[in-house]
Structure 1
Amino acid sequence: MRKMTVKAYAKEHRIPIFQVIKMIQRGELEGVSEEVNGVKVNYVLLSETEAKAPEGEQRPESESTSLEDEVMRLRERVAKLEAIVADCCRKR
C-alpha cells in the first residue's frame, strides 16, 4: 500500500480536499492520521491498482472520438452564429 497526503490526492484527482476527507469518513477511501514533526498529517492509503491510474486521466477510444465529434459540431455552430452576428451588424 502507498501513502499519499490528502492534499496530494485531491490535486491528483482534481477534487476539493474537503471531499477527500468526507470520502475517508464515509469509508470510500482508506485513511490514516500520523504525527510528523509535531503536526498531525492525514494520509490516504492507496492499493497498487488505485495508485497506477487516476480516475480522469485515461479515456476509452469511443469517448475521445465522441469528444472530437462534439468539438466539430460546436465549431460549426460558432461559425453560424458569427455569420448571424455579422449580418445583424451590417443591417445597422
Structure 2
Amino acid sequence: MPHLAPLADKLTAAEPWAVRNWLATSKGVQVLARLASQKAEITHEVLDGLEQDGSTRYLRELLVTTGVLPRRDENLHGSSSGSTLPSTACLPRS
C-alpha cells in the first residue's frame, strides 16, 4: 500500500529491537494489518470508528508522526492523545 510507505520507511530505520517488540506485543499492529488488508485508505475518520483505546491512539500518533496522516487537533474531534501515549521516540525523526 503506497500510502503506508512512510511508515515502512520509519520502521526499517528504527531500532530493530523496538520494532520487534512493537510487532510482537501491540494490538495496534493487528489493527493496522486489518485496515491495510481492506485496501482502503487509512484516514482519521476510519480510526475514529475504532475502539479508542491506547493501542488505537498510539497507532494514530504513529501514523501522524510518520506522515501517513495529517496532524489534527484531537480535542476538536472528541479524542485526546494526552500524555498516556507510549513514546514514539524509538522512531527516527524526519
Report the TM-score when normalising by structure 2.
Answer: 0.25
Instruction: Please identify which structure carries the higher strand content.
Output: 1
Report the TM-score when normalising by structure 1.
Answer: 0.25
User: Which protein has greater RCO, CA pairs closer than 8 Å, 6+ apart?
Assistant: 2
